[in-house]
Structure 1
């Protein structure tokens, strides 16, 4: 996480400096969430998009208070490539408020992903009071030779695929970043990118105000994960692409998918020994995911009807998982002693991993299978979560 020193202003040719005074949002001069919203909408270059996800740059201001089925979005921008950036401005207070703002912006993304281009155009017209193709006109100010039909098609495709950049902008964003990133990762059913932007303000007495945006967290696109475990001697974790989710093609649910979700639903309500551990989240089609206190790392519990096996394993984004596994394997024997008996496995690359699995035929009922998975998850959390918290620090 980046840290910053004081900002100095050179006063004269003799080398005298004035130190800026930090000016928190929400306390002085009416600088509240609405003030921050209008500041960003009027000066889109303040948002460090290139650092978060350059595919959404440059930003053309579209509107503020865009009405959606989930509520109004503070500020909305669009790029000449037809990609939307949704910004929610929040003062940073307690962990509950942080979790609520993440849930809020995710709800906005889900709502907007159901729109057509005509829906977007109509909503923006209502928000701005302007007529015509407002999104295209806004983007064309940045790219005068922009083709309207190509822009409309690209925007419609981005809406359909959920290709949004979700930004939370606020003041003093420091604590709880890891848990927030995990929460975002667990909910990434659409193709969005996400960033946390701290907008630091510094006051130089009567001489003016300095605004310094900082990216303190962002997601990386995760296109591959380990989702299958072979049964039998020397089984291995298979690395496969979650292509349907990566393309945003998971929309409505078939009856089979609804049955699958219902099967996993009891596991999303389990309580862990660790009071800080969040509950599992269902992931189509055959597993639940448990966030760990390290960015891009989680536990997976799965059931493969085709192979007749179920299990729990440690995984994450490819680069992060490899780095973390290297550290964890330094105390591998001690970790294995704390995991369920038989929890020892290799990934398809041959690298050591942590996994536990069983044959579905070993269980007499679905409830018994779910109870076994819950017990495995709890032991994995107890063994790995404290170590991952230490690594994250």
Structure 2
């Protein structure tokens, strides 16, 4: 969304497009398997797919039909079942959830009423309706759950249920391995992006010392060198908590990897294949990313460093919406939207690089940063504290940039994701950095 002062018809069309795109993806993710797979819990880390489906509809009803339109609850008795804070994921299979057919019908009925509402909405008057924020928030929420459901599909055992073409073949990247980001101030966060969420706000100045950052994310091949050098068996590279975690759980490689003879294989959406050395490494936790960086004589970038590398234009001095500028993402820029079911080779998407030449900062893999998830100066929770505020603190680490599983509506240069440092089922990778000499 380029211009915050768009006319009502343009806002209506964008809201309709993003909601429709999200629902098409939800339908794909919940129709490609039979009902027993929808109601089963494929991992205690994840909800049954049918819970996500009805939760999507319930959130849409609560925020668009109730909060925006002021209507009565359609099914108030189910609100508690689909409250993410009331029931942890591990307990959700035991709840009296709507069966698949009923969940589909409920989500569909909500959507029909929302589309009627959209036709007559004036995009002003309240903070929720300004520039269509509530519609954008719900589209982002649905796409975030679509990514969660895709993670569940990756964890699911059984035959392949999803297919997608591979990314276009790219010539091997032969550019520099790292880029110097000059020191100085830049504008972090946003106060003007209409659909930005509360933790991205407000825009503020940050001073960042000069540093070097990897041109592309760390690859499977590079990560294998860490494994072969005994990285998982050498306490020197690990934080105290990280070392205890991998020892306790017997972790010796990224999630879904296993070795057969001299070859590393991985399981990807029901298919076992050789680990491609040129792809960014995937399904590593923060502790693994941090240990690799130490082993390589480097470190993880801070969140501010990552955003400066992604948004700062040293010529104009301004922060752009994306590394390539202010234009909305296109397929030539980044691997987003479940268009593919894997990352593109490291160094892909030259048209998506930053002004300094850093590539793949958007899409492919979420990138762990060194930073805890904390509020920006002047942060205000909106429209509810449970979206961001309750997660602030050292327990969660920040991830940036999105992955192939993220839709463009829920990914921008200011977008912040967060998770526990032990999480590996997410589509997470990383790149490394180092301070510039004399910085």
Q: Which has the higher contact order (CA 8 A, sep 6+)?
A: 2
TM-score in terms of structure 1 length = 0.24
Specify the structure having the higher radius of gyration (Cα). 1
TM-score of the aligned structures, taking structure 2 as reference length: 0.22
Higher strand fraction (1 or 2): 1
